Amino acid sequence: MSAIASVLEVPEPAASPATQFTRVGRFAAAATLVLGAGFQLAAFLTEKQHDKTVDRLRWVAAHPDRANVAKLFDLLAMPFLFGTVVVYVLLARQRSPRLAYAGGILLGCGMVGLSAAQGLETLEFKLAQDGRFDVAALGHVVDNLSTAPGIAMLILFIPGAFFGLVTLTVALWRSRAVPRGALVLIPVFIVLDFALQKGVAGHAVALVGATWIALSVLRSPRAEPD
């Protein structure tokens, strides 16, 4: 396969672990990838983005219905994001088992931290909308969260998600079971979302990559029976 074709398509379709998936398994894997990324993008598109926590909480207080829909999308994404970790490990483990499992553990920890962060934000939204609490004081508490559980949540989330994504990207690249172009979008997402704080753009890129990989799973040839 040419270099350009390997960017657009699966380098070795017949060797992809997806060939061993059942029809239901393929659709489940593809849906998991798309729904996880799709719900996250929907959350960012629904909620107006702010640079400061206090400004965000003021917006949440002023727009409770829209804010709650956004947080609902965030929470609905979580089971599919955990499922995405499983799908990536299954696709990568055949040729790079150590990298695949290490990346899966790291990214799984990241998703645990993200789940905790979503729970915390669900409470933040309710307190901001309640009317009995000073939003500026609430924002200050959130920005200065320094308890042991809060620190553990951040350590699980940020390093776990970052290093897990990087490790799994390398494992998937070596697997030759995923289009190279889709994998290039993962570091693009990391830069946009983690470094530049461009949530909408980052998660739009993530959805394109997830859909690309999902289509490659659906199009994988069926394994020949023994």
Span 140-163, pLDDT tens digits: 999 999 999 999 999 999 999 999
Residue 15 included in any domain: no
With respect to residue 126, please indicate whether it lies within any of the assigned structural domains.
yes
Q: Can you read off the two tokens belonging to residue 141? A: 């508490």
Distance CA 198, CA 119 (A): 22
Q: How far apart are the first and last CA of the chain?
A: 26
What's the rounded Cα separation, in Å, for the pair 206 and 193? 10
91, part of any domain: yes
Looking at the domain assignment, is residue 1 inside a domain?
Answer: no
206, 37 contact by CB (below 8 A): yes
Share of the chain above pLDDT 90, in %: 90
DSSP 94: T
pTM of the shown model: 0.94
> Tens of pLDDT along 27-65?
999 999 999 999 999 999 999 999 999 999 999 999 999
10, part of any domain: no
Q: Provide the residue range defining the domain that includes 172.
A: 20-218
Q: Which two tokens stand for residue 225?
A: 């029976």
pLDDT at 1 over 60: no
Residues in the chain: 226
Total domains, the chain: 1
CA distance 195 to 187: 11
CA distance linking residue 139 with residue 154, whole number of Å: 17
Tell whether 223 is covered by a domain.
no
Q: Is residue 109 in a domain?
A: yes
CB 182 within 8 A of CB 7: no
| DSSP character string of 69-89 | HHHHHHHHHHHHHHHHHHHHH
Output DSSP code: residue 21: S
Contact indicator for 8, 181 with CB cutoff of 8 Å: yes
Chain mean pLDDT for the chain: 94
Q: Is residue 13 part of a domain?
A: no
Confidence band for 224, pLDDT divided at 50, 70 and 90: low
